[in-house]
Amino acid sequence: MTKQTYTLIVNGAERKISAKPNTTLMDVLRDDLHLTGVKDGCATGHCGACTVIKDGESVRSCLVRMKQADGANILTIEGLTAEAAAETAEPPIRPSADSPIPLHPIQQAYIDQGATQCGFCTPGFIMASKALLDKTPNPSLEEIYDGHRWNICRCTGHNAIIRAVQQAAGQKTPPLPAANPSLKTIGKPLPRPDAVEKVTGAGKYADDLYMAGMLYARAYRSDYPHAKLLTVDLSKARALPGVAAVLTADDIPGRILSGVHDLDWPVLCYDKVRYVGDALALVAAESEEIAAEALKLIDVEYEPLPVVTGPKEAAAEGAPLVHPEHKTGNLFAHYHLDQGDLEAGFAEADVIIEREYTTQTVEHGFIEPEAGLAVPEADGRITVYCGGQIPFSDREQIAATLGVPEDRIRVVNMLIGGGFGGKEDVTVQIFTALLAQATGRPVKMTFSRAESLRVHSKRHATIIKMKTGAKKDGALIAHHVEVYGDAGAYASLSGHVMLRTTTHAAGAYEIPNVLVDTYAMYTNNVPSGAFRGFGVTQSAFAMESQMDQLAEALGMSPLDIRRKNILAIGKKTLAGQTLTESCGLPQALELVAAEMEKHDFVAAEGDKRRAWGVACAYKNVGFGSGAYDAAGAEVEIFDDGSAAVRAGAAEIGQGLVGILAQTVSEELGVPYSRVKVTVADTDWTPDGMATTASRQTFVTGNAARHAAAEVRLMLAQTAAELLDAPPDSLIFADGMVSANGGSIPLSQVAQAARREGRVPKINYQYAAPHTEQYQHFAFGFAAQAALVEVDTKTGKTRVLKVIAANDVGRALNPLALQGQVEGSISMGMGMALQEKFV
């Protein structure tokens, strides 16, 4: 099909476009005009990230062909600035003196309400909001739902987005939940430092990068779940004009296996494939179309092998072996934990409940597919721009595969469109680097949504058998658990995930006599790895179900049996760890119970039945179990009084950049807006280890806090001389240093310190408290209730209301925290009611 010339009015300017008739508007806006605020989340119309306004209507630009767009007036997120705002009754808003970007009231509302987290879906949502409010200035809740029906946000749970639309419409929005009183900066509901670039579409994700001479990469993947590789013929693909390189395992100069902890995942398969999605070959070509065509020309001959379909099948005698070289067969990991005397405990029990529970494989559903760009540098190094959760691990794995020292590789995280654990394993990082090394040219690779779904690790499917004994008064006395987890074809983080399933197998309750055995089994399914909750989710589901069964058998209320056994100060976890501080779970449960009493409902109405469900949970903070858990941060004060924080952790939407800015602002008295945070650049930031286990606020936050405190001590020496006051009498606040009624700007102090040879810059390495096996230095606790309606005729289920109380310690930023809690509730409901990866 030949190209034709089309005319578009884009953000008020006429543009002549040469494109094939079936080229999508999204591709033209992104690839030709580089309006990368238009995001490609699926290219099939399912996510709404590419939403723009076409002739006054919101459209998913991935579904609009150029032959349908000729002559259209297109507004993208980039156009929604001063010019777009001037068309409304309200003037544009500047969020602060430090931001040169004028904002539309809708964009400002998204910032104010915390409606952007990872930010990838945000431009599409804002354009849908704009189209809605242009037509319906005062929308009802149902109209807000309908106006965004094609848009998906996996981070926020949509609640904050609804509030943002209501604010933009001039409607009243609810206040933030109650939290501890704030300090100067810590504890205040401040907007994210990266919010402006996310609501304007200016922020760059890996797929938004373009370079001259850039090649496009694709991977050839197996359609067989288990098969021996007989022959791989690349001749036709290599001969295709426009193909720059085709690589297999034979072309890897270094290590051929990858893995975050266990090296069992081939970078490119060389002897056999173990799941549908295993990569066999890589192609780099002058265009995506040529790369896709080259994949079709690769000929592979397989010998199918017997398939291991699940963890119980994997454990059966004589089961086919996924990794024949593995010493324990299909058993990847086994964890055993016991306390007390299980047999004696069951002998004392008045009621025993024995059930088997299953949880399904679940997809993370982050809206940004995996993407990366590898760039060969003039000095022979390679820089990889990507979006992983463990950048220094990515660097190590890339270097090992390429056969070069780590200092020859630089990994730079761009903005990351969500992760939830699904971006801890390497994906595009090694592929792009290999191809860049082979071709000497920049190489970009972006997974399609179908490829992303097919390839990356998932939440573990589990089979959990529980036997629990209780006394007549509801006291739990004995608990026996057996767990089989589906690790999939490769280890990923299965060992660590299944360890958490083990240590949390009794839920948030104290039980004196317990025995738990957990088995992580290799299968020929998609690999399982890290996912929000990290193995605790599966145990919590089973244990909370067990508690309800026990309550019914004992004639107790679900609330009372939980009150009887709930973890509290002085009680022991299943792993034998005595809680000595910071356990607000009993208070959280009572807050939920009190709130439940305020809501009347009709229990039975026709075919519909309604009831409250209640649950408790707790989750570790940090690695625990004796693992070294540390992070570094560097803090610097510049001569203009502004501050910089550099940390190697990943920002995936959870709000770390804001926490680091607040922490340094609090310690140094620098205005929050004048603290610049740089994360995850292996050349410039100290290692923060993995962004996982809810650890970064604690470890990197403490590293930044200590670094800032040492900078303050350094500056205090200079300021004391300038103000003729003792160092311990100085007050650092609002960019000033004060004492004895006098004050000077922090900038002046920084300049004087540099003249004296003291550079106000500190790199601090913080190590979390040491832990013993199966134990942790901190936990988070939560209690929730859900009012649920079930249609007994159709089976349709509706969650009418959720009440959540969380013991979070100090709420460092209530706005960000609310978004995290609401998003996790939404994700939990999805797993409970709707989501299953097949």
pLDDT tens figures, 534-568? 999 999 999 999 999 999 999 999 999 999 999 99
476 to each of 295, 469, 536, 546, 674, how far by Cα in Å? 58, 6, 20, 11, 53
pLDDT tens for each residue of 392-440: 999 999 999 999 999 999 999 999 999 999 999 999 999 999 999 999 9
Domain 4-79 adopts which CATH fold? Ubiquitin-like (UB roll) (3.10.20)
790 burial level (CB within 10 Å; 0-12, 13-18, 19+) = middle
Residue 86, pLDDT score: 55
Its sign, for the CA torsion 137, 140, 141, 143, is negative
- Average pLDDT rounded to a whole number, residues 59-68: 98
Q: Is the per-residue pLDDT at 98 higher than 60? A: no
Which residue in 626, 633, 612, 613 sits closest to 768, CA to CA? 626
Q: Are strands 382-386 and 462-470 parallel, antiparallel or unpaired?
A: unpaired
Kindly report the CATH class assigned to 209-305+370-451.
alpha beta
State how far the Cα of 107 lies from the Cα of 99, in Å rounded to an integer: 13
> Is the predicted pLDDT of residue 520 greater than 70, yes or no?
yes
CA gap 472, 184 in Å, rounded: 51
Confidence of residue 89 (pLDDT cuts 50, 70, 90): very low
Is the confidence at residue 97, as pLDDT, over 70? no
Q: How far apart are CA 337 and CA 481, in angstroms?
A: 10
Return the closest-CA partner of residue 351 out of 473, 199, 449, 439: 473
Average pLDDT score over residue span 699-713: 99
pTM: 0.96
83-206, CATH topology level:
DNA polymerase; domain 1 (1.10.150)
At residue 754 the predicted structure's pLDDT band, cuts being 50, 70 and 90, is: very high
Closest CA to 541 of 624, 623, 461, 597: 461
Confidence of residue 180 (pLDDT cuts 50, 70, 90): confident
List b or e across 449-462, with b for residues whose CB sees 16 or more CB atoms inside 10 angstroms. Answer: bebbbebbbbbbbb
- Collect all residues with Cβ–Cβ distance below 8 Å to 590 and sequence separation of at least 6: none
Range 148-156 average pLDDT: 98
Answer CATH for 630-767 from 3.40.50.12280, 3.30.365.10, 3.40.50.920, 3.40.1390.10: 3.30.365.10
CA distances from 557 to 563, 614, 618 (A): 10, 10, 21
Residue that wins the pLDDT comparison between 305 and 99: 305
The Cα–Cα gap between 760 and 754 comes to 7
Segment 630-670, tens digit of pLDDT? 999 999 999 999 999 999 999 999 999 999 999 999 999 99
**Percent of the chain residues past pLDDT 70, beyond the cut:** 98
pLDDT greater than 50 at residue 93: no
**Within the chain, which residue ranges are assigned CATH 3.30.365.10?**
331-362+458-623+774-807, 630-767
Give 94's pLDDT tier (boundaries 50, 70, 90).
very low
Closest CA to 808 of 816, 800, 799: 816
Given a cut of 80, whether residue 143 has pLDDT beyond it is: yes
On average, the pLDDT of the chain sits at 97
Alpha helices, DSSP H only, in 504-630? 536-554, 558-565, 585-597
- Checking if the pLDDT of 87 tops 60, the result is no
Domain with CATH 1.10.150.120 in the chain: 83-206
* Alpha carbon distances (Å) from 453 to 42, 211, 447: 11, 27, 9
Taking 50 as the threshold, does the pLDDT of residue 250 lie above it?
yes
Closest-CA residue to 317 (of 333, 304, 332, 330): 330
pLDDT tier, 100 (very low <50, low <70, confident <90, very high otherwise): low
Share of the chain above pLDDT 90, in %: 96
Question: How much is the pLDDT for 377?
Answer: 98
Q: Say whether pLDDT at 451 is over 50.
A: yes
At 349-400, the pLDDT tens digits run 999 999 999 999 999 999 999 999 999 999 999 999 999 999 999 999 999 9
Identify the pLDDT of residue 101. Answer: 75
Mean pLDDT score, 709-733: 97
- C-alpha 695/C-alpha 680 separation (Å) is 15
Angle formed by the axes of helices 585-597 and 558-565, to 10°?
160
Q: Which of 835, 830, 837, 821 is nearest to 799 (CA)?
A: 830
In CATH, what is the architecture of 331-362+458-623+774-807? Answer: 2-Layer Sandwich (3.30)
Residues 6+ apart with CB under 8 A from 620: 500, 503, 504, 536, 693, 694, 776, 778, 779
Domain ranges in the chain with CATH number 3.90.1170.50: 209-305+370-451
Q: From CA 51, how far away is CA 336, in angstroms rounded?
A: 50
Q: How confident is the model at residue 95 (pLDDT cuts 50, 70, 90)?
A: very low
